[in-house]
């Protein structure tokens, strides 16, 4: 057995920040590496162009290579961070309470399943009738089935009474035009009150 105590295992000591010449070298190292790459690229391009028989001014070639490397460096610095691996949730501690609209999750997928067909149907009523209206009917049937044990198909009379005349008419007779967002809000409120 070892003589290490639990306190030794759980002790945490922060490492001191590097001081002296090592910290200063890290600032110059990327610049020297970039200059070495530029010199190598200029040499290769110069030899390649001369082998093909083209004459290019050395300052123009150096400026071109430095410009390409600078653009590459700037785009690398401005690029967004890579997304986390699919399916894995990155634990970042306590969340700030704001919804991350860029993340791929079930809530955003559910919103998109409704947002896209509603957007598509704003200009063509037949899309609303063929895509959105059946989903609203399924929602109404599911809510009635869960709370009252009936669907529009199983007991139409009771379902009509539960839905109310306005909602029943809306679900059974397709509208001629796409309902406005205000009308849809009223319909959804009636669905939620079932």
Contact 51, 58 (CB under 8 A): no
- Each residue of 119-164: pLDDT tens digit? 666 777 777 788 778 888 888 898 899 899 999 999 999 999 999 9
A 10 A CB-CB count for 130 gives 13
Mean model confidence pLDDT for the chain? 79
CA distance 102 to 72: 26
CA distance 52 to 78: 37
CA distance 44 to 38: 10
CA distance 155 to 168: 13
- Each residue of 29-68: pLDDT tens digit? 888 888 898 999 999 999 999 999 999 899 999 999 999 9
Closest CA to 154 of 8, 162, 136, 135: 162
Q: What is the pLDDT of residue 65?
A: 92
Whole-model pTM: value is 0.42
Q: Distance of CA 32 to CAs 28, 42, 191, Å?
A: 6, 15, 67
Q: What is the pLDDT of residue 63?
A: 93
Measured CA angle at 156 (ends 155, 158), to 5 deg: 70
CA distance 44 to 64: 13
Q: What is the mean pLDDT of residues 175-185?
A: 82
**DSSP code of residue 132:** I
Q: What is the pLDDT of residue 59?
A: 93
* Counts for the chain of helices (H) and strands (E), in that order: 9, 0
Coil, strand or helix at 180: coil
């Amino acid at each position: 057995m070892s003589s290490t105590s639990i306190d030794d295992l759980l002790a945490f000591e922060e490492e001191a920040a590097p001081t002296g010449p090592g910290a200063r070298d890290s600032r110059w190292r990327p610049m020297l590496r970039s200059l070495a790459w530029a010199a190598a690229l200029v040499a290769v391009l110069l030899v390649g162009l001369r082998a093909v028989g083209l004459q290019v001014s050395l300052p123009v070639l150096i400026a071109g290579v430095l410009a390409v490397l600078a653009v590459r460096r700037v785009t690398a610095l401005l690029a967004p961070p890579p997304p986390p691996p699919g399916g894995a949730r990155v634990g970042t501690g306590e969340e700030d309470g704001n919804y991350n609209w860029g993340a791929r999750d079930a809530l955003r997928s559910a919103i998109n399943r409704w947002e896209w067909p509603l957007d598509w149907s704003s200009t063509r009523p037949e899309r609303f009738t063929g895509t959105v209206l059946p989903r609203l009917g399924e929602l109404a049937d599911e809510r009635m089935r869960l709370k009252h044990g009936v669907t529009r198909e199983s007991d139409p009379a009771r379902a009509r009474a539960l839905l109310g005349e306005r909602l029943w008419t809306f679900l059974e007779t397709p509208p001629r035009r796409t309902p406005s967002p205000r009308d849809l809000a009223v319909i959804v409120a009636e669905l939620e009150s079932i």
